[in-house]
Amino acid sequence: MGGGTNECGRWIFGVLGALALFAAGPAMAVGPGSAAPETPPARIGNIWNAIPHQPAQGDVSSAEQGVGIAPNSSQNQRIDRELDELNRELLQREHSDPAIAPALKP
């Protein structure tokens, strides 16, 4: 009978040891002296180093004018015509191809 009691005691100590390691796991993972960083990460979503990654159109236009590379009016008209043509082409595809445009429910 003494052997059974000894095995039971080892089993209980094993379970208690596993529980102690499990409970201390998160504290051990962080480690002493390694607190969370105080500075935010360099990139959060669309903002890198506290600056929006995609600038607004006004920012782009003023920056282009500042360095002398802003498109002139004829270039702007050509760009607008090209965008209008692409828009018409996409709308035509949408209306003609049922795979692109799912049927609308009444």
Is 37 inside a domain boundary? Answer: no
Domain-located, residue 85:
yes
Per-residue pLDDT tens digits for 2-26: 455 566 667 776 766 666 666 665 5
Q: Name the DSSP letter for residue 71.
A: -
Is 83 contained in some domain?
yes
Bridge partner list, 47:
44, 52
Q: Is the pLDDT of residue 79 over 90?
A: yes
The answer to whether residue 94 is domain-embedded is yes
Where residue 50 falls among pLDDT bands split at 50, 70, 90? Answer: confident
- Three-state secondary structure call for residue 48: strand
Residue 86: inside a domain, yes or no?
Answer: yes
Domain span including residue 94: 71-98
For residue 87, the model assigns a pLDDT of 95
61 pLDDT exceeds 80?
A: yes
Tokens of 1: 């009978």
In a domain, 105, yes or no: no
Instruction: Count how many domains the chain has.
Output: 1
Nearest to 42 by CA among 32, 34, 50: 50
Q: Establish if 91 belongs to a structural domain.
A: yes
Nearest-angstrom CA–CA distance, 36 and 30: 9
> Residue 4: what residue type?
G
Average pLDDT over residues 49-73: 83
